[in-house]
Amino acid sequence: MNIEERKWEIMYDQEALQTRIKELGSQIKNDYQDKNLLVISLLKGSFIFCADLVRAIDIPRLKINFMTTSSYGDSTDSSGKVQVQADITIDDLSQYDVILLDDIADTANTMDFVYKHIARKNPKSLKTCVLLDKPSRRQVEFVPDYIGFTIEDKFVVGYGFDFEDMYRNVPYIFNVTEELL
């Protein structure tokens, strides 16, 4: 599929994203005001969401760490197999209240795997946050604690979401339609 030849349908423009992310940020601020919050962002998909979300969480004791797992690669279908490619740089999480951040919960194989991986490092508490949730695609049971938007089974691109590792830099989220230009 050459997505440049198809019509793009904007799902969430920059304003819609910023409005919702500010709401999520103030909700998290209220929940974590007196805590040592550690945000763990899964790369690469959540790097843009993370950058905007942490700036909307107005608390002093916030730290950020990153983790990379294997992903779709160049395909648009999940293999169901998840591996750690680069782990977080803190081994003992016992003094942190952790929020695990990803771009999307699709089959949720990634979040299920990473949740268990991080839980073994003994965090004080562990919650999850995704910008988009596609509950109809689940292969494992998983309900995120913080959700930006719940969507139908559509393949989305932009704002960190990739198509063949490209278009992450598009500042809005779009869906590629069947319609040719």
Stretch that binds ligand IMP, among 2-10, 22-30, 91-99, 102-110 (CB under 6 A): 102-110
For position 102 contacting ligand IMP by CB under 6 A, the verdict is: yes
Q: Kind of pairing, strands 37-43 and 6-12?
A: unpaired
The single residue listed with the structure tokens 């704002």 is 159
Question: What is the Cα Rg of the chain in Å?
Answer: 16
DSSP state, residue 60: S
Indicate if 106 belongs to the active site.
yes
Q: Does 160 bind Mg ion (CB under 5 A)?
A: no
When binding is defined by CB under 6 A, the residue of 45, 123, 144, 158 that contacts ligand IMP is: 45
Structure tokens of 91? 């081994």
Question: Scanning residues 62 to 101, which ones bind Mg ion (CB under 5 A)?
Answer: 71
The token duo for 2 is 């050459």
3-state secondary structure of 41: strand
Among 52, 155, 168, 172, binds ligand IMP (CB under 6 A): 155
CB of 161: closest distance to ligand IMP in angstroms? 4
**What are the φ/ψ torsions at residue 5 (nearest 5 degrees)?**
-90, -5
Does position 128 interact with ligand IMP (CB under 6 A)? The reply is no
Residue 175: contacted member of ligand IMP, Mg ion, none (CB under 5 to 8 Å, by partner type): none
> Does 161 participate in binding ligand IMP (rule CB under 6 A)?
yes
Asked if 112 and 137 count as a contact pair (C-beta separation under 8 A), the reply is no
Residues in contact with Mg ion by the rule CB under 5 A: 45, 71
Active site amino acids: 106
